[in-house]
Amino acid sequence: MAPRVGVIMGSTSDWPVMEHATQMLERLGVEFEVKVVSAHRTPDLLFEYAKGAAERGLEVIIAGAGGAAHLPGMVASQTPVPVLGVPVESKSLKGLDSLLSIAQMPGGVAVGTLAIGKAGAKNAGLLAAQIVGTHDASVREAVDAFRAEQTQAVLDTPDPRV
Ligand code: RP5
C-alpha cells in the first residue's frame, strides 16, 4: 500500500531518535516512508517533498530535527497535511533549542510539537496512528490494543522491585 505517513528528518544523525516513530507505526500497522530532508542543506527537496505530500496520499508528516529546527515549520508552510514535530536532542543545549524552534510557531501555520527525543518520536508515531484511526477502524483497533496491553503491563508488575 502507498505510505500514509511520511517520516522525515534533517539528518541521518536523527535516525536513532526517529526510528522510534517508525517502530510505533510498524506496530500499529500504518504504512510509512522515511527520508532525510534538510531545511538548510536541501531546501529545494524540502519544497518538492512538502508540495507533493497531499497528492501522494500522505495523511500525516512526522518531521524531526535538532538545533535551529526549522524543518517541521517550513514543511507545514507548504502543505495542508498535518505536521507533527519531534525535537531531536542537540549536543550543546540538550534539545531545548529544538523544542523551542518547533513549538514557537507564529500563529497561522500549525505544527503539533511532541516531547524532546525518544518519547516524542514514539508519541509522534502514536499520534499519527490516532489521526489515521479517525477514519480507519483497523488502525483505531490497533491503537486500542496497544493501550490495553500497556495498561495490563503496568497492572502485572505492581511491585517495582520484581
Ligand atoms: C539538524 O541539525 C538535524 O536535524 C540534526 O539534528 C542536526 C545536526 O545534524 P548533523 O550535523 O548531525 O548532520 O539539521
What DSSP string describes 87-126?
Answer: EEPPTTTTTHHHHHHHH-PPTTS--EE--SSHHHHHHHHH
Expressed in angstroms and rounded, the spacing between residue 88 Cα and the centre of ligand 1 is 9
User: What's the pTM?
Assistant: 0.97
What is residue 1's predicted lDDT score, i.e. its pLDDT? 85
d(Cα 17, Cα 14) in Å, to the nearest integer? 6
With a 6 A CB cut-off, is 10 part of the ligand 1 pocket? Answer: yes
With a 6 A CB cut-off, is 11 part of the ligand 1 pocket? Answer: yes
SS3 38: coil
With a 6 A CB cut-off, is 13 part of the ligand 1 pocket? Answer: yes
Please check the confidence at residue 68 and state whether its pLDDT lies above 90: yes
Residue 69 is inside which H or E element, if any?
none
What is residue 152's predicted lDDT score, i.e. its pLDDT? 98
d(Cα 65, Cα 73) in Å, to the nearest integer? 11
With a 6 A CB cut-off, is 65 part of the ligand 1 pocket? Answer: yes
ipTM (interface predicted TM):
0.96
Nearest CA to ligand 1 atom 6: 66
Expressed in angstroms and rounded, the spacing between residue 65 Cα and the centre of ligand 1 is 7
With a 6 A CB cut-off, is 85 part of the ligand 1 pocket? Answer: no
Tell me the three cell numbers of residue 5: 505517513
Task: Provide the annotated binding site for substrate.
Answer: 11, 14, 41
Phi-psi region of 127 (alpha: psi -120 to 50; beta: other; left: phi over 0): alpha
Does residue 70 contact residue 40 with C-beta atoms inside 8 Å? yes
What is residue 112's predicted lDDT score, i.e. its pLDDT? 98
The pLDDT tens digits of the residues spanning 69-108 come to 999 999 999 999 999 999 999 999 999 999 999 999 999 9
- Domains of the chain in start order, with CATH, are 5-156 (3.40.50.1970)
